[in-house]
Amino acid sequence: MNSVNIPELVKKGIEDVKKGKLVLIYDAEDREGETDIVMPASFMTPRKVAYFRKEAGGLICVAIHPVAAEKLGLPFISEILRNVNSNFSSLRKIVEEKGDLSYDKRSSFSLWVNHRDTFTGITDRDRALTIKKIGEAVEKVLNGNSYDFYTEFRTPGHVSILRAADGLLEDRRGQTELSVALALLAGISPVMVICEMLDRESGDALSKANAIAFASERDMAFMEGKEIIEAYQSHCSL
């Protein structure tokens, strides 16, 4: 790893996520132009779910590596809806099409789930449990073990799973792929919790300047997508 060209803030981000700390990732001006709070799923707690709710305010999602998604049987929700039978054919009309998203070709959404040991699924405790169990599922299948996702979880639920693109940053450069790439750079299980940061006053995406200030005040790593891409490409070229 020492021979890989890694920007200083990405180095800090790598060391922080190894310890389960929160980091910030800004995608790009020509994408969503949003900053997400990010952390490894294995370190999730009810207190941290509350922190995501209060300090970020967006949608709390779990981004997973495409190989893990394939092994767990987790397709894109758009694929499911495009293949519904004739009884629900009208659902095909609602699936996003080319051009619907001005900043991207498609979204990363897979299933929304609750772990079967949860009650309603929405409480901080319930969401923390579901997120940690998703993390355990990913780690198991990537280590070559079998795992029956459909007996452990149920849908619909309150935790959104995001499936990274098959080629990761070569195919797509969204928060899903950036966070999974960061996990790979850190050598940890590629299953990350991400949540968009919203401005409390306007309700819009938190500005980049305010996100940088937020990170600085809390000694968090603030990384730009282009920095993670640079580090990841350098890592893959070795």
Q: Is 132 helix (H, G, I), strand (E, B) or coil?
A: helix
Q: Which of 114, 224, 227, 232 is catalytic?
A: 114
Q: Which of 32, 177, 196, 224 is catalytic?
A: 196
Residue 61 catalytic? yes
Q: Is 43 helix (H, G, I), strand (E, B) or coil?
A: helix
Residue 199 catalytic? no
Residue 16 catalytic? no
Q: Which of 158, 230, 235, 236 is catalytic?
A: 158
Q: Which of 61, 177, 224, 232 is catalytic?
A: 61
Q: Are 182 and 7 in contact (CB under 8 A)?
A: no
Place of tokens 């929405």: 122
Q: Which of 36, 126, 177, 227 is catalytic?
A: 36
In degrees to the nearest 10, what's the CA dihedral of 163, 104, 100, 91? -10
Round to whole Å and give the CA distance between 211 and 198.
10
Residue 114 catalytic? yes
Round to whole Å and give the CA distance between 2 and 174.
26
Burial tier of 35 (Cβ tally within 10 Å: 0-12, 13-18, 19+) = buried
Beta-strand relationship, 109-115 and 61-64: unpaired
Q: Which of 5, 97, 100, 103 is catalytic?
A: 103
In the sheet that holds 61-64, the strands lie side by side as: 109-115, 153-163, 61-64, 191-196, 35-40, 23-26, 222-224
Q: How many CA atoms lie within 13 A of 129 on its CB side?
A: 16
Q: Are 95 and 82 in contact (CB under 8 A)?
A: yes
Residues with catalytic function = 36, 61, 103, 114, 158, 196
